[in-house]
Amino acid sequence: MNEASPITAGRVKSAIRIGHSACPHDCPSTCALEVELLDDRTIGRVRGDPANSYTAGVICAKVARYAERIHHPDRLLKPLRRIGAKGEGRWQEIGFDDALDIVAEKFLEAEARHGAESVWPYFYAGTMGLVQRDSINRLRHARNYSGQFDSICTNMAWTGWVMGTGRLVGPDPREMAVSDCVVIWGTNAVSTQVNVMTHAVRARKERGAKIVVIDVYDNPTMKQADVKLILKPGTDGALACAVMHVLFREGLADRAYLERHTDDPAGLERHLATRTPEWAAAITGLSVAEIEAFARLVGTTKRTFFRLGYGFTRSRNGAVNMHAALSIPSVTGAWQYEGGGAFHSNSDIFGLDKAEIMGLDFKDHGIRALDQSQIGRVLTGDAEALRNGPPVTAMIVQNTNPVNVAPEQRLVKAGFARDDLFVAVHEQFMTETAEMADIVLPATMFLEHDDIYRGGGQQHILLGPKLVDAPEGPRTNLEVIYGLAERLGVADQVQTGLDARTLIDNMLKKGGKIGFDALKDEKWIDCQPGFATSHYLDGFHWPDRKFRFKPDWTGTAAPNRPPATVGSLGPHERLPEFPDHVDLIEVADAAHPFRLATSPARSFLNSTFAETKGSTTREGRPSVLVHPDDAADLGVGDDDVVRLGNERGAIRLHARIDAGLKRGVLVAEGIWPNKAHLDGEGINVLTGADPVAPYGGAAFHDNHVWMEKA
């Protein structure tokens, strides 16, 4: 176990050792942590590290209660082999090595029957640690197993951002604290990125800054706002265009900045001539007065910081919405000022080469890549989803729970129920995906292994060294991958002799940074570029160094562009020349008069923390927010059971009457376990997996549905 620095805690008689780590979960904040170490296996409270200038001592309540999770009585501790029908819940304990023998045997059988591409290692962001998350790819590439196109989270947001700037870089997010106006657009930061609020509220207290929140309902972040803009889902592009129309119309556009730093301001102004507040009001549900007041606020407040989230991009026009919102500070010239500009992610600043961790040197780029969002279609034999290749007949799943979190849930469950599909799941709890497995392997948690993290929502590389010993039984992701590599005959290629510390040390030093031991002392590395670079004052990341109002939607490199074997996706031919509202969304119609967004809950993180009593008690039960007038029309009262449905299926849950959303809009918060719902089916029965233009992604917040009283 690593050493930790001892300090004296005033509320106890003896000294409590404090370990330093980083939150491993799928959140842009990547908080620096202080962890109470009660003994070699036991932790106490978890706090934000006050010495880290972004975390600033503040973390979310669910991570503060991490002892409840790591010491949970239902945690998986023994490998299990299924002895009943899939999903029946009958298991036999076996040894870990025996379990790995079975997994390797089944993989070899699948390869012999259908070829190597019939094996699909499937993973995602249950940990954001670069070693424990991404090392599965070394096994994938060593055996030429099917690739994974990581589409489920970031694609629309990242694509829309780079279409304008050319690079995933932005102003120092700590600059929110010196802003005069902070616009929090499409992210419920109180619930999902608490540190955004730390710096925004500081600006309000110290500078009198206005906090503007733009979202589809009156969520906890909206309740902290000075200006609230509640709009219909998928209409953010219309709002952005009307704002820019007003900026040009009222002389609030910075024409000198536009001429120096943007590609076609005259063309943009002509295009926006018809994108009036009246036009946008009819689309968004906002009033003309709301739109004009917001435009004048950002147009007259040079230090306006646009904090652009992921939520408003999880729509079939999501990339267009991001690009449109991002264009506003280029019209106002806000990029020129400290505390001004726009920020989404700093993912391009860290300079960490993961080639060794991921085995990229031996990757065969001709191997098919399967879309992780379309796992239901893949596992039920859809030829297009399979890229016209062999069926998937063997899988290992790490760091994700697709039976619960993936779209088109009925297809996903049907796929996992196939008798001819072998599945091994490496997990911390018996998730609904693990329940459908043939072999379940217990996994360590982040404080029980070494890893390294980078904060896309901030600017630090943070070390997460092992702080406590795991209970007997669980193994790290890396150990499982190495164990399979040895049994599958690729130990040399996978380099199973490299432990996590060595991989971290190699990666850091290759990038010209301090090594593992030095980083353990320093705790983090601040990678924020200088002011001119992060504000793009020395040019945007294009040959002409200008912001692109006119993006090349299918000819532009992007952080997660589909591989050549996949190509551009969705109805990309309909994407607009300039920022606009493009009606690619799943529109309401006579048969489906409501639009449903599946927004995050405060106490869950995707499906993580749904196993802890503290989180489930705070969230209550699965429910759907309904406008009072819509409820009255349907004869639905508060707490009544309602049915929601569309062409993908139907579910039952309880209604919560809430005036904080537009008529015709429904919001279901949190990815509750499927079994927590009345019929054992979760909200993702209603979400689709058709890819979003131009580079794919899952439109979780873009669903038309009908609703009736059950």
Residues 6+ apart with CB under 8 A from 378: 120, 370, 371, 385, 386, 392, 415
* Confidence (pTM): 0.96
The helix/strand/coil state of 379 is helix
Angle (nearest 5°) at CA 577 between 160 and 572: 65
Residue 84: pLDDT over 60: yes
Angle (nearest 5°) at CA 544 between 543 and 548: 100
CA pair distance 371, 386, nearest whole angstrom: 9
* Confidence label for 14 from pLDDT (cuts 50, 70 and 90): low
Catalogue the E-assigned strands of 108-266: 119-123, 147-149, 181-185, 210-215, 227-230
Q: For 404-441, write each residue's pLDDT tens digit.
A: 999 999 999 999 999 999 999 999 999 999 999 999 99
Q: For 469-513, write each residue's pLDDT tens digit.
A: 999 999 999 999 999 999 999 999 999 999 999 999 999 999 999
Pairing of strands 32-39, 42-48: antiparallel
**463 - beta bridge partners?**
452
Angle (nearest 5°) at CA 394 between 391 and 400: 110
Pairing of strands 341-343, 304-308: parallel
> What's the rounded mean pLDDT across residues 620-640?
97
- What is the DSSP code string of 79-121? -EEE-SSTTS--EEE--HHHHHHHHHHHHHHHHHHH-GGGEEE
* Confidence label for 682 from pLDDT (cuts 50, 70 and 90): very high
Radius of gyration of the chain (CA): 25
| Count of residues making up the chain | 710
Here the tokens at position 698 are 């899952």
Q: For 371-396, write each residue's pLDDT tens digit.
A: 999 999 999 999 999 999 999 999 99
pLDDT of residue 4: 41
HEC secondary structure over 261-302 = HECCHHHHHHHHCCCCHHHHHHHHCCCHHHHHHHHHHHHHCC
pLDDT of residue 619: 93
* Confidence label for 171 from pLDDT (cuts 50, 70 and 90): very high
Here the tokens at position 522 are 């320093």
Residue 229: pLDDT over 70: yes
CA pair distance 213, 493, nearest whole angstrom: 50
Residue 74: pLDDT over 90: yes
* Confidence label for 11 from pLDDT (cuts 50, 70 and 90): very low
Residue 89: pLDDT over 80: yes
Q: Which helix (H) or strand (E) holds 684?
A: none
pLDDT of residue 15: 74
Residues 6+ apart with CB under 8 A from 46: 33, 34, 35, 36, 59, 63, 64, 65, 66, 67
* Confidence label for 59 from pLDDT (cuts 50, 70 and 90): very high
CA pair distance 522, 274, nearest whole angstrom: 54
* Confidence label for 7 from pLDDT (cuts 50, 70 and 90): very low
Total Cβ atoms within 10 A of residue 72:
15
